[in-house]
Amino acid sequence: MIELKNLSKSFDKHHLVLENLSCTIPDNAIYGLVGANGAGKSTLLRLINSIYKPTQGEVLVDGKPAYDTEDIKKQMVFVPDDLFFFSGYSLTETANFYKALYPNFDLDFVLKEAKTLKLDPKANLSTFSKGMKRQCALLCALATKAKYMFFDETFDGLDPVIRKFFKDLIVRQMSEKETTIIMTSHNLRELEDICDNLGLLYKGSILFEGDIDTLKTNMFKVQISLKEDFDKDTFKDLDLLYFKKVGTVATLIIKEKENSKKILEDLKPIILDYLPLTLEEIFIYQMEALGYEFNEVL
Amino acid sequence: MNLMKFFNFKFLKEEIKSKSQLIYSILALLPILQIFYFVLQLANHNYGIVSFSSLGGLSKIACFIIPFILAYALFGFLHKKNSVDFYLSKPIERKTMYFTNIIGGLFLIIILLLLNSIVMLLFNIFTPFAIPFKLIIDYFVFYTASFSFVFMITSLSIILAGNFLSTIVVLLLIGLMYPFTTLVDIAMNQNHNVYLELDNCEEDDCNQKLYPSLNEYNYTTIYSPLMNVSYDSKSVLKTYFLTIIYIGLGYLAFEKRKMEDNECSFKNIKTYYMVKILTFLPVCFLSYALITTHDLTALIVSIAIPIAYYILYDLVMQKGYRTFKLTLITLCLSYGVFVGFFALLGLLYTKEVYLKQIDELVFDHYYYNGIVYYEDLVIKDPKVIKNIINSQDNSFSEYSQSYYITLKANNKLYEDYLYWPENNKIIDDYIDQNNIKSMDELYQYNKTKYINFNTNKTIKVPITNIMLEHLKNAPSVKDTYGINYNLYYYDNHKYYDLQIPINATNELLNYASKQLNQSFIKDLDLINESYINIDLYDLDEDITKDFNNFLLNRFIIDNKRDELKEFLKKHQNDEIKENIGVIILSDFNSKNNQDNIFIISNIEEFKNNWEKWMDSLADNKEYQKYVKEFENSYAY
C-alpha cells in the first residue's frame, strides 16, 4: 500500500506544484490519477518514484519511507510521459538493461508480446514510431513484474487496437501478479474502463478520490415521467445532484440513499428508466456538489 | 558498512554497454594517437631517449578532452528530463548510482592509461625508443592523477549545473580558481620592489634590485605540463588529494541535487547570480589591469569589457535578462567591489623591502669546470651567502660569470642573476670544502640503461659486470677531449646522466659500435639524400684534414657508393682497436637532425681505401675543383 502523507513539492519559492497532498493507494488495484495539464500528476509520480525529493511530507510504501530506498525501488517501475532510450539500442538490448536491474524481469514475455505486436526486437529503436516506442517501454515495464507500476499518460500515441491490447495486459498483470498500477491521464474516458480507483488532482491537491464501483453505485441516472405535472420539488426527499425536464420527461441524477429507488417507485411513474452513468458524469456532478466547475478542474 | 551499497556492477556493465561505441572510441583514441606519434617519430628518425615531457605530449592535451567526454557520457543524463526520469526511477539508490559511475569512470581512465603505457612499453622493447620502465610508471601515475582530476571536476560541474553551457562555466570556475589566484599574485608582485642590501653599498640606489618575489605555486598535474614543469611529487599528491575531495563533494551534490533542475542553466536565481559574479571576477581583474596602464584607450576598453561581458553572459546563459534593473545594480555593485578590491590589493603589495638576511641561496644547475654540474646547489650557511653576494662585481664591467639564482628570505622566494669576475672561486671553494657531490659522483653506474653517443643515437645497453668495472674506473671526461658517451638511467622521476670518454671501456664501445653500425647499414640508402661527415679519431692526433672537406667527401661517396657500402658491410662487426673513426651520416630530412653513426675500427684500412678512391677520381675536373676550393679556404 502506498501512503502519501502531507506531500508538498515546489520548484521555486512562489510556486507549489503539490500542496499538502495526502492519499492512500490500495494494493492490487488500478488507480487512475486524473487532472488537467499542470495539475501535478507527473510530479506526484516522480515523487513516489524518488526522482524528485519532496519539499515536505513523505511517501510510505507498506509503512516504510520510500525515498531513495533500493529495496522499495525494486518493487516499482515507472514509464514516464517523455520516453528515453539509449541511442542505438534495440528492444532486446533495452530489455536486457531492465533485466540487469530488476530481479524478476521476464525477457520471454517481452519477446513473446513483441512478436504479437509485430515489433522487431532486434531493430534500432530510433527507427520506431512514437507509438511503437511507447509499446516497447510498456512491455519492458510490464516484464519487470514489479509490485507497483506507474504509467504517465500511458496510452498517448497508441492506436485503439493497441490501447485495448495493453489495457488487457495491464488488467491481466494486476489480477495475476497482484500488481498495483497507477496511471495518469488528463482524459477521464481513457481511464474509465480500466481503473477501479480514481483520484482527481487539482492545483496540487487530491480534490476527490474513490472506488469507481462505489462511485457508480452511489449515484444513478434516471429518466422519469409522471402522470401529473411535476418539478424539482417533487423529488425533495431525494439527494438530487441534477435535474433537467424536457417536456414531460425529466432526467435526474441522484446520489444513492437506502430508499431512493423506493421513493421513485412510490411516485408511480409512467416512465422510469435507470441509465448507466459515465465516469465523466459522475465527476461532473461530484465536482459540482463540492462547489467546483468541472471544466475548470479537468 | 555494506560496500555493495556504493557499487552496482550490473549497472556499471549496462552503463558501459549503453555507451560502448563512445567508450571504446575513447579507450582506443589515445593509444592509437600515441602509436601514430611514435611511428611518425620513427619515420623521421627522431628517436632516442624519451623525456617525460615528450612522452606525455599527447596526454597533456588529452587529459582535458577525454575525461570531459567520459564524465559527460556518465553524468550527462542529469541535463535531460527524460533521461533523469529513466535513470532515477531505476532500482538504484543515488549514492550507488553516483559511486558506480565514478568508479566506472576512474576504472576506464586507468584502463586507457594502462593501454597507453603498454604501447609505450612495446615501443621501448621493439623500437630504438629508449623509454625507461620507471618513466612509464611515472607517466601512468602522473596522468592518472590528471585524467581523474579533470573527470571529477567535470562530473561535479555537471551535477551542479543544469545544462552544457552552465557546466562549462562551473568547470572553468573550479578548474581555473587556483591558476587565477596565482596570476593575481604574480601580477601584484610586480609592485613589490625588493633589494638585496650589499655591504659595500652606502647609497640606496646601488643596492641590487631583485626580480619580483616568486611564491612556490603548486599547480595540479593538469597545468604543470603546460607550464613545462615536469614530474613533481607534490603536484601529483595534491591532485590525487583534490580528486578525493571532489569525489566527496560530488557525492554530497548528487545526493542533494534537485533533479528537476535540468534543460536550463540555473533555475535558482541566487545560484545564477552567484556564478555570474564569480565569473565576473577575472573580467574585473582585467579591467583593473587596464586601468593601471593610465592609457585613455585602455581605460575605455576597461569599462566596455565588463559591460559587454555582463550582457553577453545573460544572453548566452538564459537568452535574455532577468530584470534590467537587477542586472544594472549587480553590475555596478560587483564591478565597484571587485575593482576596489584589486586596487586595495595593489596598494598592499606596493612596498620596498631591503633584504639583509638571506636564508637560502639556490643555484639552478651550477657548472663547475665547465662540464660537471650540480643540480640545485643549495647554500644555507649565512656567512657563505653573505660572501657570495658581496663578492659580486658591482661595476658589472669585467664580469665573466653570471648565475641564475633563487634566494629565500622572509619565507619568500626571489630570483636574480649574480655576477662575478672570472677569478672568483668562492663557490668552487665552498663545494670543495663541504665535499658536495657532483652529478657524476651521484651517478649510479649499475643503473645505467642507455648510451647516447655524441648526442646522436641512443642505444639501450645491458650492463655487464665487466662493463661496470670499466665504467667505474673510466677517466673523468674533463681530463680528455674528443667524442664522448653519455650514460643514462632514469630514477627518482628524472634522468641521471654521465659523460665518459669514448675509450672508457672497450666492451661498451664494441657493443655500442655494433648497434650503431647495424643501424647505419640499415639506413645506407639514405646516403642519397644526406651529407656525410667523416671524423677519424686518433686519440693522440687531431682530425685528419683530408676528411674535413665536406663537399669533397660527398663527391667521393657519390662516385664510390658501392665500394663504400661494401667496405662498411664488411667492417660493421669489427672489434674496436685503439684508433677509431666515425662516419656521421647527417640526414637532413630528419627534423631533429639526428645523425646516423658508423664507427670504423680499422682506420688504416679505411684511409687506404679512401685514398684509392680519391686517386681514381683525381682526373675528374669536378673533383679537382673541390680540392682546389678546399685548399684555398684552408690556406685562408
Q: Which of A166-170, B201-205, B389-393, B419-423 has the lowest mean pLDDT?
A: B201-205
B51 in a structural domain:
yes
Q: Residues in chain A whose beta carbon is closer than 8 A to a beta carbon of chain B? A: 11-12, 46, 49-53, 68-70, 73-74, 76-78, 80, 82-84, 86, 88-89, 93, 96-97, 100-102
A223 and A127 within one domain: no
Q: Is the pLDDT of residue B353 over 70?
A: yes
B68 in a structural domain:
yes
A138 and A15 within one domain: yes
A220 and A195 within one domain: no
pLDDT score, position B543? 47
Q: What are φ and ψ of residue B491, in 5° steps? A: -155, 155
Cβ of B93 and A46 within 8 Å?
no
Which of A177, A203, A229 finishes a domain?
A: A203
A140 and A6 within one domain: yes
Confirm or reject contact between B268 and chain A (CB < 8 A): yes
A267 in a structural domain:
yes
pLDDT score, position B591? 45
B511 and B409 within one domain: no
Q: Which of A207-216, B201-210, B336-345 has the lowest mean pLDDT?
A: B201-210
d(CA A161, nearest CA chain B) in Å: 27
pLDDT score, position B528? 59
Number of neighbouring beta carbons within 10 Å of residue B29: 17
Q: What is the pLDDT of residues B587-605, one digit of tens each?
A: 544 444 556 778 777 777 8
First CA to last CA distance, chain B: 89
pLDDT score, position B296? 87
Q: Could you tell me which chain A residue has the CA closest to the CA of B5? A: A70
B615 in a structural domain:
yes
| Residues from chain A contacting residue B18 (CB–CB below 8 Å) | 86, 89, 97
Q: Which of B177-181, B266-270, B489-493 has the lowest mean pLDDT?
A: B266-270
Q: Which of the residues A17, A73, A78, A84 would you substitute to probe the B interface, choosing the one with the greatest number of B C-beta atoms within 10 Å?
A: A84
**What percentage of residues in chain B have a pLDDT greater than 90?**
29
Cβ of B10 and A12 within 8 Å?
no
Task: Determine which helix (DSSP H) or strand (DSSP E) holds B24, and give its type and residue range.
Answer: helix B20-43
Place of cell 548566452: B316
| Residues from chain B contacting residue A84 (CB–CB below 8 Å) | 80, 82-83, 85-86
Q: Could you tell me which chain A residue has the CA closest to the CA of B95? A: A68
A245 in a structural domain:
yes
Confirm or reject contact between B579 and chain A (CB < 8 A): no
pLDDT score, position A71? 92
Average pLDDT estimate for B301-307? 90
B378: cell is 643549495
pLDDT score, position A298? 57
pLDDT score, position B372? 62
d(CA B279, nearest CA chain A) in Å: 24
Q: Is the pLDDT of residue B517 over 90?
A: no
A209 in a structural domain:
no
Cβ of A73 and B92 within 8 Å?
yes
Q: Is the pLDDT of residue B352 over 70?
A: yes
A208 in a structural domain:
no
A136 and A25 within one domain: yes
Q: What is the pLDDT of residues B59-85, one digit of tens each?
A: 999 999 999 999 999 999 999 999 999
Starting at the edge strand found earlier in the chain, the sheet holding A56-61 runs: A15-25, A2-12, A56-61, A64-65
| Residues from chain B contacting residue A55 (CB–CB below 8 Å) | none
B164 and B47 within one domain: yes
pLDDT score, position A42? 93
B118 in a structural domain:
yes
Q: Quick one: B533 exposed, middle or buried, by C-beta within 10 A (0-12, 13-18, 19+)?
A: middle
**Which pTM was predicted?**
0.85
B401 in a structural domain:
yes
pLDDT score, position B107? 96
Q: What is the pLDDT of residues A243-277, one digit of tens each?
A: 888 988 999 888 877 788 888 888 889 999 988 88
A210 in a structural domain:
no
Q: What is the pLDDT of residues A7-49, one digit of tens each?
A: 999 987 777 889 899 988 989 999 999 887 888 999 999 999 9
Higher pLDDT among residues B75 and B384, named by residue: B75
B113: cell is 592509461
Place of cell 659522483: B441
Q: How far apart are the C-alpha atoms of A94 and A109, rounded to whole Å? A: 14
Q: How far apart are the C-alpha atoms of A240 and A280, rounded to whole Å? A: 17
pLDDT score, position B368? 66
Cβ of A11 and B90 within 8 Å?
no
Q: Could you tell me which chain B residue has the CA closest to the CA of A149? A: B89
Which of A133, A168, A203 finishes a domain?
A: A203
A162 and A261 within one domain: no
Say which CATH number the domain at A140 has. Answer: 3.40.50.300
pLDDT score, position B590? 47
Cβ of B85 and A53 within 8 Å?
no
d(CA B66, nearest CA chain A) in Å: 20
How many structural domains are present in chain B? 3
B28 and B158 within one domain: yes
Nearest Cβ partner for B85 among A53, A74, A78: A78
B346 in a structural domain:
no
Q: Which of B74-83, B107-116, B327-336 has the lowest mean pLDDT?
A: B327-336
Which residues constitute the domain of residue B521?
A: 507-635
B627 in a structural domain:
yes
Number of A–B residue contacts, CB under 8 Å: 73
| Residues from chain A contacting residue B89 (CB–CB below 8 Å) | 49-51, 73, 76-78, 80
Task: State chain A's mean pLDDT as an integer.
Answer: 88
Report the Cα A59 to chain-centroid distance in Å: 19
Q: Is the pLDDT of residue B7 over 80?
A: yes
Q: Is the pLDDT of residue B490 over 70?
A: yes
Q: Is the pLDDT of residue A176 over 50?
A: yes
A268 and A153 within one domain: no
DSSP string, B319-360: SS-S-HHHHHHHHHHHHHHHHHHHHHHHHHH-EEEEE----E
Q: How confident is the model at residue A179 (pLDDT cuts 50, 70, 90)?
A: very high
Higher pLDDT among residues B223 and B208, named by residue: B223
A174 and A38 within one domain: yes
Nearest Cβ partner for B18 among A53, A83, A97: A97
d(CA A52, nearest CA chain B) in Å: 6
Say which CATH number the domain at A286 has. Answer: 3.30.70
Q: What is the pLDDT of residues B231-258, one digit of tens each?
A: 889 999 999 999 999 999 999 999 999 9
| Residues from chain B contacting residue A70 (CB–CB below 8 Å) | 5, 91-93, 96
Q: Could you tell me which chain B residue has the CA closest to the CA of A53? A: B258
Q: What is the pLDDT of residues A79-106, one digit of tens each?
A: 999 999 999 999 999 999 999 999 999 9
Place of cell 514516464: A80
Which of A203, A229, A256 finishes a domain?
A: A203
pLDDT score, position A100? 94
Specify the DSSP class assigned to residue A123: S
A53 in a structural domain:
yes
d(CA A150, nearest CA chain B) in Å: 10
Which of B263, B297, B323 finishes a domain?
A: B263
Helix (H, G, I), strand (E, B) or coil at B142: helix
Q: Could you tell me which chain B residue has the CA closest to the CA of A98? A: B90
| Residues from chain B contacting residue A95 (CB–CB below 8 Å) | none
Cβ of A80 and B96 within 8 Å?
no
Which of B440, B463, B488 finishes a domain?
A: B440
pLDDT score, position A90? 96
B324 in a structural domain:
no
B409 and B514 within one domain: no
Confirm or reject contact between B10 and chain A (CB < 8 A): yes
Nearest Cβ partner for B11 among A46, A52, A100: A100
Q: How confident is the model at residue B322 (pLDDT cuts 50, 70, 90)?
A: low
A147 and A73 within one domain: yes
Provide the pairing of β-strand B399-409 with B377-379: unpaired
Neighbouring C-alpha atoms within 13 Å toward the C-beta of B339: 19
Nearest alpha-carbon partner for A220 in A185, A194, A252: A252
A229 and A114 within one domain: no
Which residues constitute the domain of residue A100?
A: 2-203
A226 and A194 within one domain: no
B543 and B399 within one domain: no
A244 and A105 within one domain: no
Q: What part of B 88-107 touches A (C-beta under 8 Å)?
A: 88-94, 96
pLDDT score, position A60? 95
Confirm or reject contact between B447 and chain A (CB < 8 A): no
Q: Is the pLDDT of residue B454 over 70?
A: no
Q: How far apart are the C-alpha atoms of B294 and A258, rounded to whole Å? A: 95
A57 in a structural domain:
yes
Higher pLDDT among residues B324 and B406, named by residue: B406
